[in-house]
Homo-oligomer: A and B are copies of this chain.
Amino acid sequence: MSFENLTDRELKVLQNLIIHYIRTADPVGSRVIANKFRMGLSPATIRNTMQDLEELGLIKQPHTSAGRIPTDTGYRLFVDMLLKPEPLNDTEKNKIRNMIGANKKGIDSVLSQTSKILGEITNQLGITISPRFEEGILTRIDLIPVSDGKLLVIVAVKSGLARTILMEVESDIEFEELRQMELILNERLVGNSLGHIRKTLNERLSDTQCSPRLLKLFLDSSDEILGEQGDEKLHYTGADKLFSQPEFADRVKLTELIKLLEGRRELVDLVAQKTMTEGIVITIGGEIPINQIQECSLVITQYKIGNISGTIGVIGPTRMPYSKLISIVEYTAKSLTETLSDL
């Protein structure tokens, strides 16, 4: 359904209604809109307009004789057409930047810290997902024997990120054997993205004449080494913020949400998929393909470390202050990208 021929008045009423509802969480009546927003119209007139909006499926009544609340469709229209992003003031910007910069002990801790900031200043659930290593361009592989029978594989990608994997090997592997393998790997793989390498690994290494057992080991563990999806780490902070929101008054919903968060996988997949594109992505209510959070919205965006990207954002009830959140998430991603390129 297209809403292009909505009158100005209808748009204005919808906008005010949503703004007010986001603030108060109470169904909004015609009187409130007429008085609080000084539209120069009587409640009765507003009522008529509201009836129209309801017929269009943009707002609804929880029950007769309550005011109206926005539907998902209403929020969608609001977000797409009526929303004016609320810029951050300097205090807020500084707070974000300082908090992200405060703790530079590695990317993981920065991300954890970032989810905390997001949670804190948005009053929603802040989430961060670690970079999709797959996208990284391999710059180097090292094979280091540590203790007996252990081999440490170091996969370094552009922009200084590195992953280490500890592998089990037969204990009688010769140093020279390793050296040679290392050489071949670097020769043939460097410069490509891990994801690409993983897909084409067999061909790339097919005609080598290095140690067959090492080769086999490497091929067998390729998923682990090169990063098969599933190792993106999810950080979330601010669950307590959601608890105090009226939409989570229902214990069952709360429980479901926590289960989802603790399960991680499902959420990571969802978010990762939604954010293949650049810029802020907003997903509202039923647009989310996960049952447990269909009364929630997602505001997410990408951050970058080198040419690898990851995702940050917030989850909260559909009744969330989108205009503010967009600015916050955007700025936080920007700051995060900067901080990460620093280190």
Contact = CB atoms under 8 A, between A and B. Distances in A.
A119 B259 CA distance: 11
Interface in A115-161: 116, 119, 139-140, 142, 144, 146-147, 149-150, 152, 154, 156, 158, 160
Contact of A251 (B105, B106, B152, B243): B243
Contacts of A224: 105
Interface of A: 105-106, 116, 119, 139-140, 142, 144, 146-147, 149-150, 152, 154, 156, 158, 160, 162, 164-166, 168, 224, 231, 237-240, 243-244, 251, 254-256, 258-259, 262, 343
Contacts of A237: 262
Given A162-B164, A164-B162, A139 B144 contact: no
Contact of A146 (B106, B139, B244, B262): B139
Nearest to A119: B262
A111 B332 CA distance: 31
Contacts of A149: 160
Contact of A262 (B164, B238, B256): B238
A154 B162 CA distance: 12
Pick the 3 closest A-B CB pairs, nearest first: A146-B156, A240-B258, A240-B255
B150 A146 contact: no
Nearest to A166: B162
A89 to B, nearest CB: 27
Nearest to A139: B147
A259 B156 CA distance: 36
A272 to B, nearest CB: 18
B238 A243 contact: no
